[in-house]
Structures are given as structure tokens and as C-alpha cells.
């Protein structure tokens, strides 16, 4: 295996290990220990937290900011797809499978689009005075790396000559994922769980009926 | 600002080092600073300054967490927005966490991730409390509760006098010697609690509730010493003090052998006693704990009280106290009681779980140094009320009542502010039985 692929795989391994440690730690802690008397449907609330409560109509962060919300959605889909692509490319590399040109072109186009969404969000952060005041290096690095991997994926699918650049960018992303705010990749799910637990315990979600 | 004592600073940071609080670890690591929470916060909406964005407020706490509790923050702090806990940071925390957030939780529901922002704000307050940096005005309120049994420092003699006076009035009104406001009686079904603002400023709300309890033929009592439903320890976030206040009430219920704790009309008091109290004391309560809203709702449903809606003819609206509705699940029950008691009702927009805080929560009413800010953010609530065209605003929270009265005056709304028991008492049909 080429040195840059080895670096990328090692970085992915480190990334998975760090996330796994954090994940196991949180799972081990279990559900919050609440000594008050439950007055609602926690399970229903947790399900609601991951489903209807995520609907754009339920959140001002979505329906009051539709362009940003839509860009964010596309951007996140692109990030997940880029992570999946890396794994697939490694498998294909071992199995000697080549992606058909048509598929490569379509997927590349999709990545170009998703990366532009990420870059758009980055520009918003740079141009908006208030967002800028909220931001630090982490915010810029996280965006550049996640938008970057999508852009580089798009290029790599069309121009295999950028292979080294692709794998090194991937390696950087994998190292950064559990360090920067990108770690919300995992914490997001726990946050939604706790949100559901909190509102469910008190009967806010689903609304308690007497 | 005074220099932070090193030992206290370490204790404050230790609060973030918890390895057993999954919720804390999760929420400290979840915010992506997208800033979309800004439009859900009344402070930001009215003031339009970046420091009021909820994400900015909690980043003060999470940046300290990253600095002292993560490898990246310890080694390359600048890269991960990790910051030192120094005097200037503490000063910013005081202004942002005590002075610019009522912990209403409106931002939580609308956060793109689901970060429990008030939870982190409260943790930040806890850190400040550990460093003895609670605003003096708020601390004075907590001290009064610890030292006298109620947050307004009302002497027992004065309280007993007020209750006796209200009882005489009630007996006169009902023409019945059984229309009592019992004090310190044992083995009663209901141990009722009050917000000290009631005996101090609004004694008629006590007689209104007493009238409801009389109509329901309830077996109840008040304590003459520990009747205070509030717990400002919830706001200053000094856990030892919050625990002491909760314990005083817990012990008093046992002393009087009360069977059910009924939380008087107070949003944070209900939250602090019902949801947080057992966790402060680290034991499940061995008595039922419900709010006055649920008690009255039960009476209506069980036919223990009869109401005539036509006695409340004006147009009414509800201000939903954050700690009872969004953070307490009372949305439907509150509406059931109100709609059973008034002929004309209109909702605010938004209402219920999306409702805006009145601005008096989070201990804001006690912190006079932030009065201007509190009244400014209340403009949102004032506009909401004005748009309904309602003549009466009902809210089952005396802190909200106080803030709404001030908004009524400041923004010339020309409305009446009533508690739920007052509205229900006005609609009561008293059936005399021999």
C-alpha cells in the first residue's frame, strides 16, 4: 500500500478509536439518573426528538433560516457521503475494482455541489459580523476540512492524479474529526437523546394529557 | 474585579471535569456555533448584539472545559477555541450567564443540534457560585431564604398576621366559619406552599386559593415557617444552598405529616421542588408533588368544584411560565383550567412550548443591576399581549406576575394580570352543604 494511503488508514483508525472510547464512555454512563417522579413518556419523547422534532417546521433554526438550513443539510449529506466514499475506495483499491466513468462523473458533480454548500456556509461565517465574533480557528478549520474533503473527492473521482492530495486531506480530516467541533458527528445523537429524555420525563414531549 | 482565589478556581473547573455526568459531557461537546439560536433568544432579538447569542453564552463555559479538560485544549488551546478561566472571563460570565439569560430554554427546542443551553448556563453559574461570584442582589435573596425560611425575609409573626387577616376576610365572604386558612395543622392531605410575594404584596391570591380549597372541601394546611415554594438556590446555582432550601421544605412536610406537596403558583419553584428537589436531596420524595394547576384541574375534572365561565366575561390570554410549560409539561392542563374558567380566551403568538419568557425568570427579578435589560427584553412579551387584544393575562407564576405588572406599567398595556387561582375563584359557584 502506498505511504499516503497508509497514513490515511492510520488516521482513520485513530479517529475511530478516539470516537469509540468517547462513545463507550457515554454509553456506560447510561441514562441520566433522575430521582424525581417521572411524569411522561421518555421513550416516546426520545423517538420524537429524533424524528418530528427535527422537522424544519418545528425549529426556528430551520424555518427562519431556510437557505442556511438547506445548505447545511446538503453539506452534511456530502460529509457523510465523503466518509463513505473513502471506505468504498479503500475496499475497491484492495479488490481491484474501478468505478465506471459515468458513476464517477455523477458522484463528482454531487460532491462539487455539496462542497459549494459548505463553502457558502464558510463565507457566511466570514462575512457575518456576529457569526465571526462567535468563531475561532476550530470553526474555520472544521469547515475547510469538511468542505475540502468533498471538493477533493470530486476532483479525485475525475482526476486520479490528485490521489496523494485526496488521501492526505482525508488523513487530516480523520485526525481533526474527534478534536474539533466536528466531534458533534457523534455527540449530536447523544444530545438529541438527552433532549428527548428531559422533555419526556416532564411530559412536554409528547404533551402530557391528564 | 478581585483576583480569583486559586483554590476556588480549581473547584470551579472541577465541576466540568465530571466523568459521570453524561448530559454535561454531551452538551459541552455538541455546540457547533452555527448561531441559529440567536433568533430564538429574547435578549438577542431585542438587543441585536453578538454577546446575547445563546451559543456565545455557553461557549464561555465550554471553552473553559476545552482548556482544562481536553487534550487538544491543554496542548493547542487556540486551535480549539479553548480559553483560560481568569478575571476577565469570570466578569464576562457573570454578565452573560446571570445577567443575560433567564434559562427559559426557548433556544433549546430550536437549536439545530438540541444542546441544553440552560443546563450549561446553570453549570457556568455553579462555577461562579463556587468562586463566590454570585451577584450580591441575587445572593441576598438566597440568604434571606436560608436565614428566615422565605426569600423575602418576612417574619413569621407578620406572615401569621396576614394569614389570619385573610382567613377573617374569607370567613366573612363565605359566611362560614369552616372557610379557613389552616396553619401548621398535621396529617392534612395537602401541604400547600406560597410564593412569598403573596403574603408580602398579593395576599388576595392566598384567599383566592383558599376559596378554591374551601369549595373543594380540601383537607389542607400551610406551614407558618416553611411555606416558601421558591428556591433561588436554583438561580444562584449554589448547590449546597439549593439543597438546604429544598431540605427545609422536605423536613417541614414530614414534620406536619403532609400527604401531598402542592406547589403554589411559581414556575421556578415548581421546577426546583418537583424535578430538582429530589436530586438535590439525593432521594426520591415519599409524598406526591404536584402543582396548583394540576390540583385545580383535578378538582374540576372530579366535579369537586363547579365553575361558571360567564362570571369571567372579559377576553383572557395566558402567559405560559417557562418552567411550568416548556420545562414542566403543563401546556394542556393549564389550558384545561383556564378554558373551564373563562368565557373568552385567545392565545398569544407564539404560545405554549414556544412561548417567550416574560423576562423575569432566571433570578432576573432579584438582580436590580439588570433592571433596564429586563424591562427591555420584556418588550417582546408586551407586544405579544398587546396583539391579543386581551384585557386579562393569566399566569400561574408570581414571578411572572411581578414582571408582567412592570411591563404593563412600562409599556402601558392597560391589562389586568391574574393568577390561575384568582381566575378560578372568580368563576366559583359555592354550593353550601349543611
pLDDT in the model for residue B339: 98
Chain B residues lying within 8 Å of A138, measured CB to CB: 79-81
- Please tell me whether the peptide bond between B74 and the residue prior to it is cis, using omega within 30 degrees of 0: no
pLDDT in the model for residue B18: 83
Confidence of residue B2 (pLDDT cuts 50, 70, 90): confident
In this prediction, residues B5-34 reach a mean pLDDT of 95
H-run or E-run covering B249: helix B239-256
Cβ pair A137:B78 closer than 8 A: yes
pLDDT in the model for residue B431: 78
Q: Is the pLDDT of residue B433 over 70?
A: no
Chain B residues lying within 8 Å of A199, measured CB to CB: 329
Cβ pair B81:A32 closer than 8 A: no
B interface mutation test: which of A194, A201, A205, A209 has the most B CBs within 10 A? A194
Cβ pair A25:B19 closer than 8 A: yes
- Partner residue facing B278 (CB), from A36, A72, A204: A36
**Which domains, from first to last, does chain B contain?**
6-133 (1.10.1060), 138-300 (no CATH), 307-429 (3.40.50)
In this prediction, residues A151-166 reach a mean pLDDT of 96
Say what the ipTM of the complex is. Answer: 0.95
Top pLDDT among B430 and B128 is at: B128
In this prediction, residues B243-271 reach a mean pLDDT of 98
User: Which grid cell is B260?
Assistant: 401531598
In tens, the pLDDT along B168-194 reads 999 999 999 999 999 999 999 999 999
A interface mutation test: which of B80, B119, B330, B349 has the most A CBs within 10 A? B80
- Partner residue facing B80 (CB), from A128, A138, A194: A138
Distance CA B156, CA B166 (A): 15
Taking CA atoms, what residue in B is nearest to A62?
B112
Distance CA B356, CA B349 (A): 9
Give the pairing of strands B428-429 and B306-307. Answer: antiparallel
Cβ pair A204:B59 closer than 8 A: no
Give yes or no for a contact between A141 and A173, defined as CB atoms under 8 angstroms apart. Answer: no
- Partner residue facing A188 (CB), from B30, B325, B353: B30
Confidence of residue B434 (pLDDT cuts 50, 70, 90): low
List strand residue ranges (DSSP E) for chain A, in order.
none
Partner A contacted by B320 (CB < 8 A): no
Name the residue ranges covered by the structural domains of chain A. 3-24+63-202
Q: What are phi and psi of A20, to 5 degrees?
A: -65, -40
- Partner residue facing A60 (CB), from B39, B275, B298: B39
pLDDT in the model for residue A1: 81
Confidence of residue B228 (pLDDT cuts 50, 70, 90): very high
Q: Is the pLDDT of residue B154 over 90?
A: yes
DSSP labels, A118-155: HHHHHHHHHH-HHHHHH--HHHHHHHHHHHHHHHHHHH
In this prediction, residues B281-305 reach a mean pLDDT of 97
- Partner residue facing A60 (CB), from B80, B110, B288: B110
B interface mutation test: which of A22, A28, A29 has the most B CBs within 10 A? A29
Query: CA dihedral in degrees (B213, B218, B224, B225; nearest 10)?
Result: -100
Q: Is the pLDDT of residue B420 over 90?
A: yes
Chain A residues lying within 8 Å of B69, measured CB to CB: none
Which residue's C-alpha cell is 444562584?
B236
Amino acid at each position: 500500500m502506498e505511504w499516503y494511503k497508509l497514513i490515511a488508514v492510520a488516521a482513520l483508525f485513530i479517529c475511530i478509536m478516539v470516537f469509540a472510547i468517547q462513545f463507550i464512555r457515554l454509553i456506560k454512563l447510561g441514562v441520566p439518573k433522575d430521582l424525581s417522579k417521572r411524569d411522561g413518556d421518555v421513550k416516546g419523547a426520545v423517538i420524537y426528538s429524533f424524528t418530528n422534532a427535527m422537522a424544519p417546521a418545528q425549529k426556528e433554526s430551520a424555518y427562519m433560516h431556510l437557505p442556511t438550513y438547506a445548505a447545511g443539510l446538503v453539506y452534511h449529506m456530502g460529509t457523510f457521503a465523503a466518509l463513505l466514499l473513502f471506505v468504498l475506495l479503500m475496499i475497491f483499491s484492495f479488490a481491484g475494482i474501478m468505478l465506471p466513468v459515468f458513476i464517477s462523473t455523477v458522484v463528482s458533480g454531487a460532491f462539487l455541489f455539496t462542497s459549494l454548500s459548505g463553502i457558502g456556509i464558510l463565507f457566511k461565517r466570514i462575512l457575518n459580523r456576529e457569526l465571526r465574533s462567535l468563531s475561532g480557528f476550530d470553526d474555520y478549520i472544521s469547515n475547510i476540512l469538511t468542505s475540502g474533503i468533498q471538493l477533493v473527492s470530486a476532483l479525485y473521482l475525475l482526476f486520479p492524479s490528485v490521489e496523494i492530495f485526496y488521501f492526505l486531506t482525508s488523513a487530516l480530516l480523520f485526525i481533526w474529526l474527534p478534536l474539533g467541533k466536528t466531534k458533534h458527528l457523534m455527540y449530536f445523537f447523544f444530545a438529541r437523546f438527552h433532549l428527548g429524555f428531559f422533555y419526556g420525563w416532564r411530559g412536554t414531549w409528547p404533551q402530557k394529557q391528564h | 474585579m478581585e483576583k480569583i482565589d486559586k483554590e476556588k478556581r480549581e473547584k470551579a473547573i472541577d465541576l466540568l471535569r465530571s466523568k459521570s455526568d453524561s448530559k454535561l459531557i454531551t452538551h459541552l461537546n455538541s455546540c457547533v456555533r452555527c448561531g441559529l439560536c440567536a433568533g430564538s433568544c429574547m435578549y438577542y432579538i431585542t438587543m441585536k448584539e453578538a454577546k446575547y447569542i445563546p451559543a456565545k453564552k455557553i461557549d464561555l463555559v465550554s471553552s473553559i472545559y476545552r482548556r482544562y479538560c481536553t487534550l487538544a485544549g491543554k496542548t493547542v488551546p487556540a486551535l480549539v477555541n479553548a480559553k483560560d478561566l481568569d478575571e476577565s472571563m469570570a466578569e464576562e460570565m457573570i454578565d452573560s450567564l446571570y445577567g443575560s439569560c433567564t434559562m427559559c430554554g426557548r433556544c433549546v427546542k430550536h437549536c439545530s443540534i438540541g444542546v441544553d443551553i440552560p443546563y450549561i448556563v446553570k453549570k457556568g453559574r455553579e462555577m461562579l457560585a463556587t468562586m463566590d461570584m454570585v451577584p450580591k442582589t441575587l445572593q441576598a435573596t438566597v440568604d434571606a431564604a436560608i436565614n428566615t425560611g422565605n426569600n423575602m425575609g418576612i417574619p413569621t409573626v407578620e406572615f401569621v398576621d396576614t394569614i389570619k387577616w385573610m382567613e377573617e376576610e374569607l370567613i366573612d365572604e363565605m359566611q362560614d366559619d369552616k372557610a379557613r386558612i389552616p396553619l401548621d395543622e398535621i396529617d392534612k392531605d395537602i401541604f400547600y406552599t406560597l410564593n412569598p410575594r403573596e403574603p408580602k404584596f398579593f395576599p388576595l391570591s392566598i384567599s383566592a386559593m383558599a376559596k378554591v380549597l374551601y369549595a373543594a372541601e380540601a383537607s389542607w394546611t400551610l406551614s407558618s415557617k416553611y411555606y416558601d415554594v421558591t428556591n433561588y438556590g436554583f438561580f444562584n446555582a449554589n448547590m449546597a444552598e439549593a439543597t438546604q432550601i429544598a431540605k427545609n421544605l422536605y423536613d417541614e412536610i414530614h414534620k406536619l405529616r403532609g400527604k401531598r406537596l402542592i406547589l403554589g403558583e411559581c414556575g421556578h419553584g415548581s421546577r426546583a421542588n418537583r424535578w430538582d428537589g429530589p436530586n438535590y436531596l439525593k432521594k426520591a420524595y415519599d409524598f406526591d408533588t404536584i402543582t396548583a394547576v394540576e390540583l385545580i384541574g383535578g378538582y374540576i375534572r372530579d366535579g369537586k368544584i363547579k365553575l361558571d365561565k360567564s362570571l369571567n366575561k372579559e377576553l383572557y390570554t395566558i402567559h405560559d411560565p417557562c418552567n411550568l410549560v416548556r420545562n414542566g409539561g403543563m401546556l394542556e392542563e393549564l389550558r384545561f383550567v383556564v378554558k373551564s374558567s373563562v368565557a373568552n380566551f385567545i392565545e398569544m403568538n407564539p404560545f405554549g412550548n414556544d412561548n417567550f419568557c416574560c423576562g423575569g425568570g432566571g433570578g432576573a427579578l432579584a438582580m436590580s443591576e439588570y433592571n433596564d435589560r429586563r424591562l427591555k427584553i420584556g418588550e417582546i412579551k408586551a407586544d405579544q399581549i398587546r396583539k391579543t387584544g386581551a384585557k386579562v393575562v393569566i399566569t400561574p407564576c408570581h414571578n411572572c406576575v411581578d414582571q408582567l405588572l412592570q411591563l404593563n406599567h412600562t409599556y402601558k398595556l392597560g391589562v389586568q394580570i391574574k393568577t390561575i387561582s384568582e381566575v378560578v375563584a372568580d368563576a366559583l359557584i359555592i354550593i353550601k352543604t349543611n
